[in-house]
Structure 1
């Protein structure tokens, strides 16, 4: 709760009498000095306010605020209209555009804190500094889109978007399932934390990392005129590693993946079906975009048809030598959910204008999976708060009052701990969400492989399709489950092995040194 120093600080901000009045009410409530409610008021709900910190404007290309904010309105409406979830509480909303700027986000956060906001949702992108500020008041901060790994160490912070490092658990599960106990890690610079996490998991599970090699993103290479922009860069890179590995795990962009596999193909590594590449994609699987792992955007064209390429050998073998670990496709009636999000975006309190081009029935503004993460974060917070109120009242046979409600709703450590313990949680996207001991979503991942398979709206008879998924079981690593109806088509019909039968240096096969020299004596 707020102390006198907090009140004096908020007052010194000079934000107006309204903010000081709100802080004063909170302090009086904490001290039990407010008048007790009348009998009529007992039938009313307690109002508490949550804060939302989206990126509506700003320089980030992947800002989500304009497309997904309606999901928060939906979640609030569903919670407030529920007779089973928080029946005595009504959630109100304060929100502000952070403009993708940390300084702006902190100003918004502190202003909302002084006005009595009990929990925060967001901000997008970088959020470690903001989470530290919220931690200084032990206020819960629940992220639907944050990439800062350091925040996982904070007890008041939870995230519904699985961090990139969570995918490494699925990669290890995949490697163990196929007995690929030796492999190489190739990663672009921005994936260094993921690469180190994967290497640590491998060592703990007695898997051997043959190589761990960083590469620079191709766009940066050419923009800064570096040697890695040369056409022969990947050729030389593969030449240096191919004799001591058979399984590559690539962490980076799809463009980098295609460049690497093109170099491998030029060295005839896929001809005998001996090599395998595993790629990690944190974006949600979209069947219509599944060719992006095989052919660059500029070569696919703008229409959803098969690219002009030879689907037979050797391209087919190359495609069959790739497995993709990807965030699973939403299940059930997710399209209905995204349609509602679009509608709520244009309603109060956001009232975002719809571009004229999108008013035509044939156009729909894309709504990403972050809308589901946002909706789920509010529902999960409300569920945790409901459980804590039950424990404080029903089990202890006490009556809920405003002071008690505020102390629970604004206790970040308590709320986040309860969120961890009440998962797995059914997502609006149809999947099960589980938070690990750091309150990071473990995510839901699938495995894609190349199949002769027709995808709706794409005039193509082959693509990357889901052949298995990872089932979270509460253990350190998920369990890999194959789809019995969609078997993997291995190159040459045989699963590649992690190393040659005689070893990379022929060390597992006995040498023929048993020559016997015989002397024939007359």
Structure 2
């Protein structure tokens, strides 16, 4: 499930088979959305990690190619929940008058902090927030609930919270939809327990491989 774009090099990584697209592929969907609604400029917030840095770089390249303007950009540290929320607040104070379109390249924890802080400054009906994160649509149902960050998991999610997220559009890759994929997945799990891999079976680990 590696999403690093470098392993797309089949000359070097000829034994590698993807079951998920590289992280940068989702950027094409983002650019198509911006062009469809003629949103020619936006502000970008990304997490300062290798995974999201790759996506941010791809956004810059595609935006330049299609003549879309990144008005401002900002990064937040990894695991921002352990930092002061003023990082997000300062970013919003600096940018909310510049744009009506935000692109968020960060985990769901950052998205929650951002949306719930932004609503303190503006009417979210006037804004569009496009989010890209690590969540994947599993395709088992027509809808998939948005993950709630652990600090909020034990709190009551109110109607006000839900209303705030009406301004958010999440772009996420899907798992393979081929009917034979589950068969392939099970064969792989069986094979990796054998030589030369010899991966020990763990009932809690294997469902997530």
- In the superposition, the TM-score normalised over structure 2's length comes to 0.77
In structure 2, C-alpha distance between the alignment counterparts of 1:205 and 1:184, rounded to whole Å? 16
Q: Write out aligned runs for 1:200-239 (5 A).
A: 200-219=61-80, 222=82, 229-239=83-93
User: Given that residues 167 and 282 in structure 1 are in contact (C-alpha distance below 8 angstroms), is that contact kept between their aligned partners in structure 2?
Assistant: no
Gaps of 5+ in 1: 1-143, 223-228, 302-306, 369-522
Aligned residue among 127, 131, 136 for 1:279: 131
Within the candidate set 153, 176, 179, 1:300 is matched to 153
Provide closer, same or farther for how the CA distance between residues 147 and 242 of structure 1 changes in structure 2, counting only shifts above 3 A. same
> C-alpha separation between the residues in 2 aligned to 1:343 and 1:216?
35
2:145 is aligned with 1:290: yes
Alignment of 1:26-425 (within 5 A): 145=2, 147=4, 149=6, 155-157=11-13, 160=18, 161-190=20-49, 191-219=52-80, 222=82, 229-270=83-124, 273-286=125-138, 290-292=145-147, 295-301=148-154, 308-311=156-159, 314-331=160-177, 333=179, 336-337=182-183, 340-341=186-187, 344-345=190-191, 348-349=194-195, 352-355=199-202, 358=203, 365-368=206-209
Q: Shift in Å at residue 340 of structure 1?
A: 2.9
CA distance in 1, matches of 2:8, 2:208: 27
Indicate if the aligned counterparts of 2:128 and 2:167 stay in contact, CA closer than 8 A. yes
CA shift digits 1:50-93 (9 cap, x unpaired): xxxxxxxxxxxxxxxxxxxxxxxxxxxxxxxxxxxxxxxxxxxx
Give aligned pairs, total. 200
Task: Measure, in 2, the Cα distance between the counterparts of 1:351 and 1:155.
Answer: 26
Give the Cα separation in 1 of the matches to 2:89 and 2:199.
49
Task: Give the drift of 1:298.
Answer: 3.8
Shift of 1:253: 1.6
| Higher Rg of the two aligned structures | 1
8 Å contact 2:5–2:24 — kept in the other structure? no
Paired residue secondary structure (1:209): strand
1:216–1:269 distance in 2 versus 1, CA, 3 Å: farther
Tell me the secondary structure at the aligned position of residue 85 of structure 2.
Answer: coil
Paired with 1:330 and 1:146, the residues of 2 have a C-alpha distance of: 14
Q: For 2:97, what is the secondary structure of its paired residue?
A: helix
Give the 3-state SS of the residue equivalent to 1:327 in structure 2.
Answer: coil
Contact 1:217 1:256 in 2 (8 A): no
| Structure 1 residues 316 and 289, CA gap change in structure 2 (3 angstroms) | closer
| Distance in 1 (alpha carbons) for counterparts of 2:28 and 2:61 | 11
Query: Once the two structures are superposed, what CA deviation does each residue of 1:341-382 show, in whole Å capped at 9, x if it has no partner?
Result: 477258644565545xx4xxxx894144xxxxxxxxxxxxxx
Aligned residue for 1:464? none
**1:428-447 superposed matches below 5 A:** none
Identify if the C-alpha distance between structure 1 residues 353 and 165 changes in structure 2 by more than 3 Å, giving closer, same or farther: closer
| Aligned equivalents of 2:10, 2:129: Cα separation in 1 | 35
